[in-house]
Amino acid sequence: MASKKSKQTVKRKKVTFKFVSPDSGSVSLVGNFNNWDKTSNPMTRKENGEWSATVILNEGTHQYKFVADNNWQQDPENDKQVPNEFGTLNNIIDVK
């Protein structure tokens, strides 16, 4: 009989990402949590030019960027970064 302790529950948390880009026509959230797919998490624009998207992420460290009008951009509000294979930086978020 399997012990109940052997089943680990993956903790998940709702996380809201925000990006200010008043001149952009479209912004998407991309990251290792959605296979860097620009179509997976389109962001919603508010009247003040702030874009937001809420996703549910597993506990752990995730890399992400924003794609504004097909331009890949870092999060200016997050100084936690790691180099990527393209010679630029990705932002990271730790979900606990």
The pLDDT value given to residue 7: 58
- How many other C-beta atoms can be found within 10 angstroms of the C-beta atom of residue 51? 22
In a domain, 1, yes or no: no
In a domain, 3, yes or no: no
Query: What is residue 77's three-state secondary structure?
Result: coil
CATH number at residue 76: 2.60.40.10
- Tokens, residue 90: 């990705």
Q: How many separate domains does the chain show? A: 1
- How many other C-beta atoms can be found within 10 angstroms of the C-beta atom of residue 12? 12
Q: How far is CA 19 from CA 7, 8, 55, 88, in A?
A: 37, 34, 14, 19
Non-local (6+) Cβ contacts of 39 within 8 A are 28
Could you list the pLDDT tens digit for every one of the 96 residues in the chain? Answer: 444 554 567 799 999 999 999 999 999 999 999 999 999 999 999 999 999 999 999 999 999 999 999 999 999 999 999 999 999 999 999 999
In a domain, 25, yes or no: yes
In a domain, 4, yes or no: no
The pLDDT value given to residue 1: 47
- Tokens, residue 46: 């508010």
